[in-house]
């Protein structure tokens, strides 16, 4: 589920709440969801929160880190207990988004923090994980992933030059499959890959070596725009995504193509088509994207 904008939305929300909190207990309800040694985290204090691609990290004062990958269905929900009632809203205003009681049948790990608050790691499909790693080894360990992560798309590291270099390592691969490769650029997933191809007016099936320099420039800009727009609307909620307070994201209301098959293109009114690219659902407007 969560791509860069969804993880970033969670990071922003959590950052105001967990810094300087101590981890009082860790309750692992599904053993495969937690990798590493929880005792190295226990009773230590959170000093920093960060994101790298789709990975979210918490650093602790003892040189250890907790990192999260939400894969397809993971959630990180912060809950602060207030006297008798529990609340996941800062002001206590109920919203329709947060029907679920916690913990629930998807809850895999519960972190109890100081100030009577908790972090719930929920994950229906059990693909996601939480790992304990030494902070100084994070980079060497590729943030818990097997491949080396590419540049952070919303930082200066994501220059046009580097993007072009990385793209051209995959000359014969389709554009969409290539930008989903986390070693080319970190954090782009299936939703924002379709969106970026639309914004750049590129057919996602087209091969990398068919792109002109001008199109590569457009695609580079389009990736940045799509991700920033996702963050602006608090991410995309299809079924599983909620932010750290249990609220939905609204990006899909503003999406050009994703999940809009048989609906009119927002640019030319032709109908949006759904195809498969690299085994993944892919949405496009054949009139706009060449």
Partner DNA sequence: CACTTGACCTGTCCGC
Partner DNA sequence: TGCGGACAGGTCAAGT
Q: Which residues are catalytic?
A: 2-3, 54, 280
Q: Which of residues 90-109 bind DNA (CB under 7 A)?
A: 105-106
CB-nearer residue toward DNA: 60 or 151: 151
Task: Give min distance, CB of 81 to DNA, in A.
Answer: 26
Cβ-proximal residues to 16 (8 Å cutoff; 6+ apart), any chain? none
CB-nearer residue toward DNA: 218 or 280: 280
Q: Is 96 exposed, middle or buried (0-12, 13-18, 19+ CB in 10 A)?
A: exposed
Task: Give min distance, CB of 126 to DNA, in A.
Answer: 5
Longest CA pairwise span in the chain (Å)? 62
Which two tokens mark 148? 């080396």
- Which position among 16, 25, 32, 92 is part of the footprint of DNA (CB under 7 A)? 32
Cβ atoms 103, 123 nearer than 8 A: no
Residue 28 interacting with DNA (CB under 7 A): no
CA angle (3, 67, 21) in 5-degree steps: 115
Cβ atoms 34, 26 nearer than 8 A: yes
Residue 35, H or E segment: strand 34-35
Residue 172 interacting with DNA (CB under 7 A): yes
d(CA 125, CA 104): 14
d(CA 137, CA 200): 37
Residue 68 interacting with DNA (CB under 7 A): no
Q: Which stretch binds DNA (CB under 7 A): 78-86, 155-163, 210-218, 274-282?
A: 274-282
Q: Which of residues 186-245 bind DNA (CB under 7 A)?
A: 189-191, 235-241
Residue 279 interacting with DNA (CB under 7 A): yes
Per-residue x/- marks for DNA, 48-67, CB under 7 A?
-----xx-------------
Residues that bind DNA (CB under 7 A): 1-3, 6, 32, 53-54, 69, 71-73, 105-106, 124-127, 145-147, 170-174, 177, 180, 182, 189-191, 235-241, 249, 278-281
């Amino acid at each position: 589920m969560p791509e860069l904008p969804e993880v970033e939305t969670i990071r922003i929300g959590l950052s105001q709440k967990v810094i300087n909190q101590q981890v009082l207990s860790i309750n692992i309800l599904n053993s495969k969801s937690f990798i590493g040694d929880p005792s190295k985290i226990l009773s230590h204090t959170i000093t920093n929160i960060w994101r790298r691609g789709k990975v979210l990290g918490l650093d602790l004062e003892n040189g250890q880190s907790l990192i999260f990958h939400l894969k397809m269905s993971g959630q990180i929900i912060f809950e602060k207990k207030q006297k008798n009632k529990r609340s996941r809203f800062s002001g206590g205003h109920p919203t329709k988004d947060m029907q679920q009681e916690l913990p629930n049948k998807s809850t895999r790990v519960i972190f109890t923090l100081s100030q009577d608050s908790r972090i719930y790691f929920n994950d229906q499909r059990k693909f996601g994980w939480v790992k304990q790693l030494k902070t100084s080894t994070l980079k060497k360990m590729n943030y818990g992933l097997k491949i080396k992560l590419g540049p952070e798309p919303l930082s200066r590291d994501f220059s046009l030059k580097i993007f072009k270099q990385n793209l051209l390592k995959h000359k014969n691969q389709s554009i969409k499959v290539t930008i989903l490769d986390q070693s080319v650029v970190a954090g782009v997933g299936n939703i924002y890959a379709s969106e970026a191809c639309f914004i750049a007016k590129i057919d996602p099936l087209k091969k990398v070596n068919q792109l002109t320099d001008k199109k590569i420039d457009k695609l580079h800009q389009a990736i940045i725009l799509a991700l920033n727009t996702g963050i602006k609307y608090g991410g995309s909620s299809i079924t599983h995504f909620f932010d750290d307070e249990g609220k939905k994201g609204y990006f899909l209301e503003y999406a050009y193509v994703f999940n809009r098959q048989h609906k009119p293109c927002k640019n030319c009114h032709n109908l949006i088509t759904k195809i498969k690219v690299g085994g993944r659902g892919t949405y496009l407007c054949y009139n706009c994207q060449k």
